[in-house]
Chain A
Amino acid sequence: MSRAVVLISVVQNPEEPLRYAPCAFARAEETEMLNDFDLIALESAVCLKESGVLDEVVVFSMGERRDLLTKALAMGADRAVFVSCDSAVITPEIVAAQAVEYCGKQPDTLWLLGKIGVNFESGHTAHCLAARLGCVAVDAACEICWKGAGVHVTCESEFGIPRYDLALPCVVTADLRLAEPRFPSLPSIVKAKRKPVEMHEYDGDREACRSLRVFAGADTRRKCQFLSEEEFMEKLEPAGI
């Protein structure tokens, strides 16, 4: 039977004020969380497992927050693989290489992850992963159905709706409308603490930071002039309105 491997990244909450260290975001445990898009991918994998087409759902993650994986396990993943390293070192190429090394032995695998991480927004990990596995990657899926020995994926793009039939292994990235991540119940959180988590140490260069530096962008706030309805309509006149 087939299985899914879901890559999950840890991000600084984009709703909270950001703080900066020399070559990374300043670590702030209370505002770190699992990437929304990756949780959407995980939810879709768990739903496929619950419908009986997948044997197991494995989550793969890297960094310093092994404890955050409890939520992923509580949402329905069966086990986790965690590579411990400094979060400032993590790049898409490294994630892809480590994921293939520790989870890549089985060919019948559906690889899922979010289409971007909300911090670094590279969108590159899926393609690095597919290049290493020698398989196809499709972006921005909004629907995944099981079809015989593979998956039927519907994606969203700005030019239309492409639909693919893909054999396993393949890499699919999740877009916003693929699934609504569930809130794990308290009993499932308790059970999650007993699920196996395979721990590894990152064996590459532990000093090579991903970025030279990370800093605040330009302030894009504007001074808003509140107008009455008449004035507002008048202001729109230059545009032919």
Chain B
Amino acid sequence: MSEWVWIAANDAGLNDMAVAQVAQISALLGCPARIWCAPEFESDARERFPGLSVEVLAQLWSPFPDAGIASVVNARLSSLQCVAVLGQHSAWLAQSLSMASAALREPFYSRILLSHAPECVRSICANRACEAVRISGPFMGTVMPGCGQALPGAWQISEAFGSPVGALHLPTEIEFDEFSDNLVSLDRAKVVFAGGRGLGSGENFEKLSRCAARYGAGLAASRLAVDLGWCRNDLQVGQTGRAVAPEIYVAFGISGAIQHLAGIQNARKIYAVNTDKTAPIFEFSDFGLIADAVRVIDRLLEKGGSGA
């Protein structure tokens, strides 16, 4: 009996969107899903996916894509009739599944857009273009937020994953400076404040950081802020950084390079503050303010806030 695997290694794989996507993919593949989750999400997973096999894999969640998911996935797959392994798109899941599928010599398709079913379409080129790929055998992939039609059997796959060709070679990390997260998680924040070059200095970025903390908002940055050393790399939002989908995204002093825009297009409302009225960010935002971002931040700090 064939099945496919949905990896819910954190709560992004268990939200309402994920439940709808799992239903759609099950119809497309013509077989049921098996949910793999980390131990702390077991009860959530059973509640959100009643009637499906839920397997708890202790090493599924690891900040190291290398050490955790790839080896666990390949070890577990050999005893299943599995035709696909999918999860919500994020950089670490994409790296892990890329590693796992390379060892199995099967294709890996990241950033799949389910809204284009029955075609299997990937979002490419900083979300500006799409690529339709052929499904001709078992594959691994990551899906972008968004759902489409459940067209039964549209992605019929007749073979399951086989055994790995050769051993999976994993690095032995010698040190890992884990980020102890004091900040509002970007994935869950309803409001995100982001800072870019227009802030002018690390001190001003620090002000933005206090402002975000005051209002309980998530903190993000453009690539330049990270390059200039104003903040840590995990705040970078964009094509190769994080993708965020808050209710409100406020961009302070960000010009709007396409690579940055690729990370924020699922935000409900985008507010931009910039002194340059020709900045590309204004073509992609709902509300614009031509002003000095630092002054606006000062005002927000004065105003104070209820904050979470």
Contacts and interface: CB of A to CB of B under 8 A. Distances in A.
A176 B107 contact: no
Contacts of A204: none
B126 A131 contact: no
Contacts, number: 223
Nearest to B234: A158
Nearest to A215: B130
- Report the contact-size class of chain B (Cβ under 8 Å from the partner): 35 or more
A221 interface: yes
A164 to B, nearest CB: 5
Interface in A40-86: none
Interface stretch (B25-33, B49-57, B172-180, B194-202): B172-180
Contacts of B99: 127, 130, 137
Contacts of B242: 158
Nearest to A135: B169
A115 B111 CA distance: 15
Contact of A225 (B165, B170, B171, B286): B286
Given A121-B111, A236-B248, A216 B128 contact: yes
Contact of A134 (B127, B169, B170): B169
B95 A217 contact: no
Interface stretch (A182-190, A192-200, A227-235): A227-235
Interface string B96-117: 0011011101011111000000
B129 A222 contact: no
Nearest to B99: A127
A166 interface: yes
Interface residues of A, number: 70
Interface stretch (A1-9, A98-106, A206-214): A206-214
A222 B284 contact: yes
A134 B167 contact: yes
Given A224-B283, A226-B290, A157 B63 contact: yes
Interface string B125-169: 111111111100000000000000000000000000000011101
Nearest to A157: B92
B79 interface: no
Nearest to B191: A239
B208 to A, nearest CB: 13
A210 B133 CA distance: 7
Nearest to A91: B107
A221 B284 contact: yes
A120 B131 contact: yes
A212 B216 CA distance: 45
Nearest to B190: A239
B184 interface: no
Contacts of A177: 226-227, 233
Contacts of B40: none
A183 B258 CA distance: 23
A127 B98 contact: yes
Contact of B173 (A12, A124, A164): A164
A225 B129 contact: no
B300 A241 contact: yes
Contact of B179 (A123, A128, A139, A159): A159
Contact of A18 (B129, B134, B239): B129
B174 A163 contact: yes
5 contacts: A121-B239, A162-B176, A213-B132, A217-B130, A239-B215
B125 A220 contact: no
Contacts of B91: 140, 157-158
Given A121-B110, A160-B177, 17 more contacts: A14-B125, A120-B125, A121-B124, A134-B167, A157-B63, A159-B234, A216-B129, A217-B123, A217-B128, A220-B265, A226-B288, A232-B271, A233-B303, A239-B190, A239-B247, A241-B191, A241-B215
A238 B241 CA distance: 28
Contacts of B241: 158
A18 to B, nearest CB: 6
A233 to B, nearest CB: 7
A214 B129 contact: yes
B289 A223 contact: no
Contact of B305 (A175, A238, A241): A241
A116 interface: yes
Given A124-B98, A164-B173, A226-B289, A119 B124 contact: yes
B75 to A, nearest CB: 16
B271 A236 contact: yes
Contacts of A148: none
A15 B256 CA distance: 12
